[in-house]
Amino acid sequence: MTFAAIQPEMKEALALLQKWYKDGLIDPEFVTSENSSGYWAHSQAFYNGRIGLTGKGAHYHWRTELDPANPADKGGGSYEQFKKSQPNGTVVLGKPAVGPQGKSGTPQWDISSTPVGITTKAAKDPRKVETLLKMVETAATDFDYYVAIRKGTKDVDYKLESDRYVNLITDSNNPVEKRGIDIFHVLVANDFYKKINGKFNYDYADKNFKYNGYSPVFVPPVDSYTKYLASLYKLTLETYFKIITGEPPVSAFDDYVQKFRSGGGDAIEKEANEALAANKAGK
The pLDDT tens digits of the residues spanning 161-171 come to: 878 888 898 88
Q: Which residue has the higher pLDDT, 268 or 114?
A: 268
The pLDDT tens digits of the residues spanning 153-196 come to: 999 999 998 788 888 988 878 788 888 888 877 665 578 888 88
The pLDDT of residue 187: 61
The pLDDT of residue 163: 80
CA distance 147 to 192: 8
DSSP secondary structure code for residue 190 in this structure:
S
Q: What Cα–Cα distance (Å) separates residue 201 from each residue in 38, 58, 114, 185, 186?
A: 23, 11, 19, 20, 19
CA distance 56 to 53: 9
Residues 6 or more apart in contact with residue 37 via CB below 8 angstroms:
44
The pLDDT tens digits of the residues spanning 181-239 come to: 888 776 655 788 888 877 888 899 889 988 877 877 778 889 999 999 999 999 999 99
